[in-house]
Structure 1
């Protein structure tokens, strides 16, 4: 039984405007994106600025040393595009360097067989080739209108000032203090005396800030020299050198060889609507599978009730069973928090971007590159260390991610949506899409409506504020655990979306996210 108060009601207003809107997990980043839109920038320009800002204000969730995927809607073309910038395993990685320990399961997200010293989970040996900067860079090159340098300046300024460690930042840092203390540079950035978060006393008015000046220098160089600096320039050479000095296999040649891709998206016909997602190595194909199941399992009524939620559970369960057995992402448990962020952008012309970016685990590899000030990913953990499996660890291999940015359209309604939360992402995007397409909910109602999580395994996690009849209908078919949406930890994903309808643009973020907000351009 939860000890949280049951009398609190949390609501967030939806930003509504005829101009542009940015919905992001951190209000400072959303404000930066909204300013870009106000200055005449395209939705992709705003996405560039928000992406780098998020790496400063939520460095444990994403950043230049991570990866991700983006969906773009171009109003002038009436056409979607996908941008894929997932991570890769280093070409010099040797699976023999990751011997199984015989000591049960790994200590993080996936229940792989444990590796000696968790070398695939944390530390420099877990670092994969990052893709985020190249992906954001090629998107800007294709659709951006404002200069790259200008779009990175707000992130540079944020990093020079340093991250304010408020109660929420302190909580997140505290959750990883023991493992951060193992890397000297991570401890120097996030901890005091290597033991606890940098934070003022609870009654103090003075601000405590992380020293992110080294990251500011790196961002300033990227701003001046362009996105390939991380892959072909001095910044990339220094980053690879830092990883190798700490025992990892990432090489400068891996960065030189990396290329993000602009892809033709997977377009899904769903009842009288369409949903567009990245085509491969994401949760996009699994969303297509889930939507096909839902279309066969229920007919929408006035509101999502017993039949709809039973169909959500059945369709998601079947889709995940096929995903985990056939796409090489088998046995993922989601037992620890994933380090991911999502933001959605719409400009006044109706161009959209849905962007999900990640370090994989919370705080990634828990290693900081001293030369660049960047927190590094732990993308090697995406691979099964046991040989002979669909997703077994191997060199120069692309990672399969759970990210699921999506564009949905029905009549004059179009939306861009996605979420953070590891395997919880797909159920959230599936249900929010259904709320908006099947039940014609407003964006505000959709984001406040309780959801379930069915992301593999036999158990449904249900928001206890769902109607009792819905919970009983779920219990008639499956094991059900009920809980509330809380600030920390998240039992459900953390979504963000923008929508255009009737000539108005609007945005919303997860109601329990203390930092998240949707901001309209002034």
Structure 2
């Protein structure tokens, strides 16, 4: 997956080093003080590393990666909307306000607590590859590494987000569909100031898309929508997207199918025909989401849920199943032993991810076996406390026949955990004529190896990195959460659960806690990124822990900004707690 992190949207010259190093030092008058020598102020309560206090409320809560999206969600709840209504309104806003992570050109996955049935339900809103694009053609377009290019028409699969919104609203919505788009349409027409992270990644996307080596069929539409006088907007500059406002108005008037049929679909087909792509109106019309029963595992008294493949949600559950075999709490918070065992659990789980995860309509995975405690115990027995496992392999199954995350909760007890993405930053680099959004590049995640479960085929869903998280405790909804960021997501989700369950951290401290991110091993694309890989640690990880990991043999990489973005809502008796983190631009609110 070639470093599926926040830095995936950056040019090679920038991604090779630390993103943090590109940010100027504060003008404090002392050139001897570097950024890593400075820390925030001292808190009088709570964890010393926490960036803020948790937001509390009794009627509802929302946590997103942008303040205006969170406000849109809260306003929708106050008008009598359900958590689903508020989530759709927020997501529409994020497509405008956080285009470097999401939009209606991408896919969507959901875990939701239904208070009427008292169950967690799942929705797979991922799209399929164009029916007219053959494996032979994709192989002709493959890059030097023998993988599908990161950008351009060959990487585009059918966007599933709008259909997922429609399915959610049809089952759980309270307010009229058209009203949900009012906040986003207003902001798109009147404009809003660009936030810090969005400005950073917009500029990076421009550099990447306009690089001649990107081989994107056209970039004029990107430049027309997302640049002002040839440059992407800087932090604080007001940005408008009237083309997206027009598209939203068509969807608001025509319903969710308006995206897949009628004028929008016709314009999308005409665009791909113009640039030599493959997506057609028939591909769009055939798209549908799938309600799917989520997988679940127990972790020390908490039931953790994940979506089955083609999602990577099972990786979180496998990672936790392996960790449960060790006394992580006794190892110590942020200790060498705790991180070492967790990274080894990740490596083992990700080998299975590379071997088995794909569209189940083409290659069903042995889910029950992969998620079993017995199998996890076998895998845990391979881990040694004083050395790195090498070689490492996937398990042998028994024989038989850059993304945005947000969460909303309402007064009726419904909690929705939703993640939506264009995949690699702003996606494929392609923006349809006059529509104001980018197409995802999820098709990049297919393999091209004959016999691989995830090998490309027409009308097939690629392996997906985006996963919502949810946890239940004592039969009651406990935590709606997510950690966006490519292959970081299962790693981040497991760290959040361990922080809260093993070390009793609150919802905010659990997210602000320093993280680790391991890169390497076999990928679902068929790539081998190094057996041992690289272990990246945030600067807050204690020096003694860093030294201990190096003594075991881990190759420690730079802290590069690829540690995910977290939002969460926790259910308490009669109230909600909501949290976000300092790595993103968003806020959490409750009322």
Q: Please report the TM-score for the alignment, with normalisation by the length of structure 1.
A: 0.88
Instruction: Give the Cα separation in 2 of the matches to 1:209 and 1:124.
Output: 30
Is residue 189–residue 210 contact of structure 1 (8 Å, CA) maintained in 2? no
Match of residue 125 from structure 2:
85
Match of residue 353 from structure 1:
416
Instruction: Give the Cα separation in 2 of the matches to 1:474 and 1:395.
Output: 44
Match of residue 561 from structure 2:
490
Match of residue 589 from structure 2:
519
Displacement after TM superposition at 1:183 (Å): 1.2
Displacement after TM superposition at 1:174 (Å): 1.4
Q: What SS does structure 1 have at the residue aligned with 2:103?
A: coil
Corresponding position: 1:312 with 2:342: yes
Is residue 30–residue 518 contact of structure 1 (8 Å, CA) maintained in 2? yes
Gaps of 5+ in 1: 106-112, 330-338
Displacement after TM superposition at 1:472 (Å): 3.8
Once the two structures are overlaid, the 10-residue window that deviates more, 346-355 or 297-306, is: 297-306
Instruction: Give the Cα separation in 2 of the matches to 1:136 and 1:125.
Output: 26
Instruction: Give the Cα separation in 2 of the matches to 1:272 and 1:125.
Output: 45
User: Which residue of the other structure, out of 429, 438, 441, is the alignment partner of 1:366?
Assistant: 429
Gaps of 5+ in 2: 1-17, 22-33, 41-49, 211-217, 360-401, 522-531
Corresponding position: 1:45 with 2:108: no
Instruction: Give the Cα separation in 1 of the matches to 2:431 and 2:129.
Output: 18
Displacement after TM superposition at 1:390 (Å): 3.2
Corresponding position: 1:432 with 2:510: no
Instruction: Give the Cα separation in 1 of the matches to 2:333 and 2:200.
Output: 35
Corresponding position: 1:287 with 2:287: no
Is residue 89–residue 379 contact of structure 1 (8 Å, CA) maintained in 2? no
Displacement after TM superposition at 1:406 (Å): 1.3
Instruction: Give the Cα separation in 1 of the matches to 2:481 and 2:342.
Output: 18
Q: What SS does structure 2 have at the residue aligned with 1:239?
A: helix
Is residue 311–residue 357 contact of structure 2 (8 Å, CA) maintained in 1? no
Superposed counterparts of 1:173-212, under 5 Å: 173-181=202-210, 182-194=218-230, 196-199=231-234, 208-212=237-241
Is residue 426–residue 438 contact of structure 2 (8 Å, CA) maintained in 1? yes
Is residue 82–residue 264 contact of structure 1 (8 Å, CA) maintained in 2? yes
User: Which residue of the other structure, out of 411, 432, 454, is the alignment partner of 1:391?
Assistant: 454
Corresponding position: 1:161 with 2:232: no
User: Which residue of the other structure, out of 8, 33, 44, is the alignment partner of 2:39?
Assistant: 8
Displacement after TM superposition at 1:413 (Å): 6.7
Q: What SS does structure 2 have at the residue aligned with 1:495?
A: strand
Instruction: Give the Cα separation in 1 of the matches to 2:485 and 2:89.
Output: 22
User: Which residue of the other structure, out of 154, 163, 168, is the alignment partner of 1:125?
Assistant: 154
Q: Please report the TM-score for the alignment, with normalisation by the length of structure 2.
A: 0.78
Is residue 75–residue 349 contact of structure 1 (8 Å, CA) maintained in 2? yes
Match of residue 442 from structure 2:
379
Match of residue 442 from structure 1:
506
Is residue 51–residue 581 contact of structure 2 (8 Å, CA) maintained in 1? no
Displacement after TM superposition at 1:280 (Å): 2.1
Match of residue 147 from structure 1:
176
Alignment deviations for residues 16-36 of structure 1 (CA, whole Å, 9 cap, x no partner): 111211111111101100111
Q: What SS does structure 1 have at the residue aligned with 2:323?
A: helix
Once the two structures are overlaid, the 10-residue window that deviates more, 293-302 or 61-70, is: 293-302
Alignment deviations for residues 420-460 of structure 1 (CA, whole Å, 9 cap, x no partner): 11111111111101112233321122122112112444222
Q: 1:310 to 1:41 in 2, by over 3 A?
A: same
Instruction: Give the Cα separation in 2 of the matches to 1:455 and 1:293.
Output: 19
User: Which residue of the other structure, out of 266, 271, 276, is the alignment partner of 1:247?
Assistant: 276
Instruction: Give the Cα separation in 1 of the matches to 2:309 and 2:449.
Output: 23
Q: 1:325 to 1:477 in 2, by over 3 A?
A: farther
Displacement after TM superposition at 1:320 (Å): 0.9
Q: Number of aligned residue pairs: give it.
A: 489
Q: 1:148 to 1:362 in 2, by over 3 A?
A: same
Q: 1:156 to 1:198 in 2, by over 3 A?
A: same
